[in-house]
């Protein structure tokens, strides 16, 4: 009888071990049906993450979960309109869906920003 109970308990634990509990799982996602409110939420989160105004395309994060931000070359007295690329490492943010939340994660420090008024789906 003990062996039978042990087998039953072992089988139950094996089955439960393959399940995910709760919604604390981040799944890479992309924004669906973007509108003015969702674009404003994304813009606010990115501006907060970088502490400055960042220019984003209207379709940012609609095709991919990865958003890469490059710095613009800074103007100087000698070169007020710089051209070309800044060769510094770009910054990356990734969009995840966690439960029903769209969560933007700053890859530099893992800071998390929940995007209000935004619908997203797993990539």
- Residue 123 is assigned to a structural domain of this protein: yes
- Residue 7 is assigned to a structural domain of this protein: no
Residue range of the domain that includes 65: 26-70+86-123
Q: What is the pLDDT of residues 53-83, one digit of tens each?
A: 999 999 999 999 999 988 766 667 776 666 6
Decide: helix, strand or coil at residue 84. coil
Q: What is the pLDDT of residues 77-112, one digit of tens each?
A: 776 666 666 666 789 999 999 999 999 999 999 999
- Residue 65 is assigned to a structural domain of this protein: yes
Q: What is the pLDDT of residues 7-64, one digit of tens each?
A: 544 544 444 444 444 457 999 999 999 999 999 999 999 999 999 999 999 999 999 9
The domain total for the chain is: 1
- Residue 77 is assigned to a structural domain of this protein: no
- Residue 96 is assigned to a structural domain of this protein: yes
- Residue 5 is assigned to a structural domain of this protein: no
* Residues in contact with 84: Cβ distance below 8 Å, sequence separation at least 6, in sequence order: 73
- Residue 9 is assigned to a structural domain of this protein: no
Q: How many angstroms separate the CA atoms of 113 and 16, rounded? A: 31
- Residue 38 is assigned to a structural domain of this protein: yes
Is the pTM higher than 0.75? The answer reads: no
């Amino acid at each position: 009888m003990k062996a039978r109970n042990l087998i039953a308990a072992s089988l139950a634990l094996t089955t439960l071990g393959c399940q995910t509990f709760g919604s604390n799982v981040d799944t890479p996602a992309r924004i669906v049906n973007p509108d003015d409110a969702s674009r404003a939420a994304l813009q606010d989160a990115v501006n907060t993450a970088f502490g400055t105004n960042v220019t984003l395309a209207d379709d940012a994060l609609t095709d991919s979960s990865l958003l890469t931000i490059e710095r613009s070359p800074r103007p100087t007295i000698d070169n007020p309109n710089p051209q070309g690329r800044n060769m510094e490492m770009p910054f990356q943010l990734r969009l995840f869906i966690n439960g029903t939340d769209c969560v933007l994660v700053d890859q530099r420090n893992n800071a998390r920003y929940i995007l209000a008024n935004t619908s997203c789906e797993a990539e």
